[in-house]
Structure 1
Amino acid sequence: MRRTWHLRIRRTHRYLGLLIGIQFLLWTLGGLYFSWSNLDDIHGDHLKRPVPAFSTVASLVSPAVPLQTLHGQGIDSITSINLIDVAGTPCYQISYPTQQKAGSSTTQTRLADALTGQFRAELTQTEAITLAQQRFAGSPEVAGVEYLTTTNGHHEYREKPLPAYAITFRQPAHATIYVATRLGTVQSVRTDPWRVFDLLWMLHTMDYAGRDDINNGLLRGFSVLGLLTILSGFALYGISSPGFRKRKTLSTKPVTNPV
């Protein structure tokens, strides 16, 4: 009976190890990369120049000027208003809620020239490149430009404001600066180290649809199987240890009456 249980535990441990061994390896590799990486470098913070400051003597119009224009267009509330630099020109970045047909609301953002108070169009490609070069601390040589209107769950610019320009520079690490055209700001910097991080993160979370869901069923299932593998290993060690076998032998040894 003892040998039967021993074989069952050994077989269970073997098959569980075979099933999740590769995933254990991926978890370990990901953990090593994450723990040895500097998150500031992964996020590309070292490649971002500070946002330019404005002079206190700048002749800016009151934000009330573009707000009055919005009011005349039927917009009765805003969520935020910021003064930003758009390729050397001060602009008001104004966000406000809009109602959709289904009853839900979304946030719209428009840019107004802070020198005139007039609303302006979204950034052109030339303005986006200028802004990216202004904020990028690496080589200013542009390798390519892409205009994005949609992204999927695996895109490195997923779940970010669209439309946007992706401006890729030659150095360093094939850095790509993403500029949201309606917001007039740099949204993110993506480099080769970040791309490796993102791939390992997908393998770590086992979210092969969107990469960022750490509550998916596949990860939960493999976590339970991993726990069972560890427990079966402990059990196998216990019943295979010399001390256990010795105690088992003593407990089953017949007791003889002294003469």
Structure 2
Amino acid sequence: MKKLRLSPLLFRRIHKWVGLILGLQFLLWALSGSVMALLDKDKVGGHGGGMSHSHPLPPGEYHDVAALPDGEPVTGVVLRDLGVRPVYEVESAKGTRLVDATTGEDIRVDQDMAREVAMMMNEAPVRKVSAIAKPNLESRDHEGAMWRVDFADAENSSAYVTLDTARFLVMRGDTWRTWDFFWMLHNMDYLNRKSFNHPLIVFVGFGALWLSGTGFYLLFKSFSRADFRWLRRRRKPVVTRSTS
């Protein structure tokens, strides 16, 4: 069996191919970073929950929480607005339900209500309302089932509203989708598009470190003393005059 020799030639060959692969990723980093910097930050940012659709709760008598119909033990109650209507979010072991804070009646969250909540954030015509069982890439920062409300505007915007409590979550458009694609290329998280802390980018980081180390090694191996002859200065002969 032929013994593998760790010679400068072997390092040079490996260095060449590793440099080519990592060089392509460096180009992707530069390209994706430039595109993300050039996109309009206001369009990229979208709209998060709890913004312009919030309204102050109207004054008046609210239904007594203790008088709500008995059922599963209640683990939490939140009073909030739903448009201009005060509602309770009642949490129990079965989940969360909405209750009208003035009448005590249960509120059913359907497509029409999801449309109404989404239109508080976008005045464009609604093209489609659909329910999704789990978050997609656009709504990956949130959990649970939700409504997706698609608008017929220039950005092809989509609003996301929680399925059971009609809370507005986020608005996404084409500019954000473009940014998100290049964000995926930038952080190399091709599945979740969330974090820099994953094995692939750690591997590339160590690969870049190895590339730098072998580059310095090959740099010094590429030179010899003959390459530095021009730096040597010849001593000029000293001329002395003799006196007689």
TM > 0.5 fold call = yes
Instruction: Tell me which structure has the larger Cα radius of gyration.
Output: 2
TM-score by length of 1: 0.72
Could you say which residue in structure 2 is the equivalent of 1:66? 65
The offset of 1:67, in angstroms, is 4.8
Separation in structure 2 between the aligned mates of residue 159 and residue 44 of structure 1, nearest angstrom: 13
Structural mapping, 1:75-86, within 5 Å: 75-78=73-76, 81-86=78-83
Separation in structure 1 between the aligned mates of residue 24 and residue 212 of structure 2, nearest angstrom: 15
Q: 1:43 aligns with which of 45, 60, 72?
A: 45
Whether 2:142 is the aligned partner of 1:160: answer: yes
Compare the two structures and name the one with the higher helix fraction.
1
Q: Please, which runs of 5 or more residues in structure 1 have no aligned partner?
A: 100-107, 251-259
Q: Would you say the 8 A contact 1:180–1:187 is kept in 2?
A: yes
Structural mapping, 1:1-259, within 5 Å: 6-37=8-39, 39-45=41-47, 50-54=52-56, 56=58, 58-62=59-63, 65-69=64-68, 72-78=70-76, 81-86=78-83, 88-96=84-92, 98=93, 108-121=95-108, 123-136=109-122, 139-151=123-135, 155-158=137-140, 160-240=142-222, 245-246=227-228
Query: Identity of aligned pairs, percent?
Result: 25
Q: Deviations over 1:176-213 (max 9, x none)?
A: 11111212111111111211222222222322332224
Q: Would you say the 8 A contact 2:131–2:163 is kept in 1?
A: no
Q: CA RMSD in A?
A: 3.3
Separation in structure 1 between the aligned mates of residue 165 and residue 225 of structure 2, nearest angstrom: 70
TM-score by length of 2: 0.76
Change (3 A) 1:55 1:12: closer
The offset of 1:61, in angstroms, is 0.7
Q: Would you say the 8 A contact 2:57–2:86 is kept in 1?
A: no
Q: Please, which runs of 5 or more residues in structure 2 have no aligned partner?
A: 1-5, 233-244
Separation in structure 1 between the aligned mates of residue 31 and residue 212 of structure 2, nearest angstrom: 19
The offset of 1:30, in angstroms, is 2.2
Change (3 A) 1:226 1:95: farther
The offset of 1:131, in angstroms, is 1.5
